[in-house]
Amino acid sequence: MRTDSDQTAASGPGSLPLTAEELLVRLDERLLSGEYAAGDKLTSERKLAEQYGVSRPLLREVLGRLQDRGLVTIHPGRGTYVTFAELTDGRTSVHVSARRGQVTPRRLIVARSMLEAQAAELAALHRSEEDLARMRSLLDMLETLPSANDIVEADVAFHEAVAIASDNPVIQIMFGSIRELIRGVVVRRLSDPVVRDEGVPSHRLVLKSIEDRDPAAARSMMIAHLEAMPPARDGLDVGAGPVSAILSLVIVAFVIYLAVSRRSKPASDDGFEKVREVTPPPLRSEKFKRSRSE
């Protein structure tokens, strides 16, 4: 069992002391970096306060918040110990688990199939005309937006719209809790041209089933849509790690692919494709922003 021997982490001479939020971020990053194992003891409050240049009351406040999140356990008189709370106790968020490498792409795909298939089935039963209008608008944008990032956002927003149309607050909360992780999977899917060409149109099949109030078809169409993954399945069982870094790398690859594919696409006789690539309709982004704010 190891004890913390952090280097001096306080701000430099003349700088402002850390706020509670800043200290929380620093300790959170260390606890989730893999530097510690469950049961490791942090250094004493006095030493931690000196290292980070903060007061002991502020440090205790931050340690209490880390305990509320299931990252540490405070034993009065004995010290503060690193803990890995049970995933079912409600304290550990999916993002904390992802940063610890517990959430792999394959596990996320399985969970999405369970959640979103049920959401689609319920959406077919409970959707309103407003729900359908939102989904149609998002698919229109998904199929025509020139920006790679906007395409990803429209894709995720469509799945979110299905969850909203389910009229089940618990499903909506569950979707919201994994929204950013879903975004990572969507980026991975859309970066593969074969999967993108098959996956984007399959959204229409999901929507058609919901429009037809066919819950069984909506469920099966959503499952079929979610099961499409890039042919190279290497890495599906690797922990997510720093999600933002992975997303950044894949988004860059997707942007390059999109730019190359559109540059090589021949323009139509009237030049419309070429013009649309250079100057996309200005109202599309505004419409997308309004759809997301609804």
Q: What is the pLDDT of residues 191-217, one digit of tens each?
A: 777 767 777 789 999 999 999 999 999
How many angstroms separate the CA atoms of 106 and 266, rounded?
37
Count other Cβ atoms within 10 Å, centred on residue 167: 16
How many angstroms separate the CA atoms of 97 and 2, rounded?
22
124's tokens: 């077919």
The answer, yes or no, to whether residue 100 has pLDDT greater than 70, is no
Phi and psi (nearest 5°) for 101? 85, 10
How many angstroms separate the CA atoms of 102 and 131, rounded?
34
Name the percent of the chain lying above pLDDT 70. Answer: 65
How many angstroms separate the CA atoms of 278 and 274, rounded?
7
What residue has token string 């009065």?
Answer: 76
- Of the pLDDT bands very low, low, confident and very high (cuts 50, 70, 90), residue 80 is very high
Return the CATH class of domain 102-293: mainly alpha
Which residue intervals of the chain bear CATH 1.20.120.530? Answer: 102-293
The answer, yes or no, to whether residue 60 has pLDDT greater than 60, is yes
How many angstroms separate the CA atoms of 267 and 276, rounded?
10
Select 20-89's CATH number: 3.20.20.120, 3.30.360.10, 1.10.10.10, 3.40.50.720: 1.10.10.10
Q: What is the predicted pLDDT for the residue at 197?
A: 72
Strand blocks (E) in the chain: 72-75, 79-82
The answer, yes or no, to whether residue 13 has pLDDT greater than 70, is no
- Of the pLDDT bands very low, low, confident and very high (cuts 50, 70, 90), residue 265 is very low
Mean pLDDT (the chain, rounded): 75
105's tokens: 């792409």
Q: What is the predicted pLDDT for the residue at 107?
A: 83
Which residue intervals of the chain bear CATH 1.10.10.10? Answer: 20-89
The answer, yes or no, to whether residue 145 has pLDDT greater than 60, is yes
- Classify residue 77 by its DSSP letter: T
How many angstroms separate the CA atoms of 218 and 123, rounded?
8
The answer, yes or no, to whether residue 166 has pLDDT greater than 50, is yes
What residue has token string 């709370």?
Answer: 85
The answer, yes or no, to whether residue 91 has pLDDT greater than 90, is no
Q: What is the predicted pLDDT for the residue at 11?
A: 52
Q: What is the predicted pLDDT for the residue at 9?
A: 54
